[in-house]
Amino acid sequence: MIFYFRALTIAAALVATTTSALASNYLCNYTARISEEDKYNSQGKYLGNGYTNTAVANILRQDRANFYVYSAYTNSEDERDCAFADKNARATMQRFLSAGSIPTYAKRAIIDNNPLLSVDVYDDHVDIEIIEMDDAPTQSRIR
């Protein structure tokens, strides 16, 4: 299954947020494999407690921190992005994802599995597509 969910990103803190993707400025795309290492913070605390937006936001933030700060925990499928190298930008992404709308099935997929994500970064949101679950191609698309 391919899952999409939308959340606000770093630029929303600076400009008025719109919900229309048509008014958004596309910034970049990156691919990230969510691994077990992404589900633990740098102090070893498990981040996937409960199927909540906060748990998903914490995991996605840790994935970017692992890429930029803790390179030993980077997956071969992880790519550089144009926005989240900075700690403050990752914190902003986390806040907006926590407050955003994430379907329950997407929460479960990220917390319970190790999906491959394609992330489109815009100036006022991110679109996240789950393109593969645990190294198995997905079969359907949900938007």
Instruction: Name the residue with higher pLDDT: 75 or 49.
Output: 49
Domain count, the chain: 1
Q: What is the pLDDT of residue 79?
A: 95
State how beta strands 26-33 and 136-137 pair. Answer: unpaired
Q: Is residue 142 part of a domain?
A: no
Domain membership of residue 15 as a residue range: 4-137
Q: Which residues pair with 119 in a beta bridge?
A: 30, 128
Q: What is the pLDDT of residue 44?
A: 95
CA dist., res. 85 & res. 8, Å (int): 17
Per-residue pLDDT, averaged over 44-54, amounts to 95
Q: What is the pLDDT of residue 53?
A: 93
Dump pLDDT digits (tens) for 85-121. Answer: 999 999 988 988 888 888 999 999 999 999 999 988 8
Per-residue pLDDT, averaged over 6-20, amounts to 37
Residue 143 clears pLDDT 90, i.e. is over it:
no
Q: Is residue 37 part of a domain?
A: yes
Output the average pLDDT for the chain: 81
Collapsed DSSP state (helix, strand, coil) of residue 141:
strand
Instruction: Name the residue with higher pLDDT: 32 or 98.
Output: 32
Q: Is residue 127 part of a domain?
A: yes
Q: What is the pLDDT of residue 4?
A: 52
CA dihedral 84, 86, 91, 93 (to 10 degrees): -20
Q: Is residue 143 part of a domain?
A: no
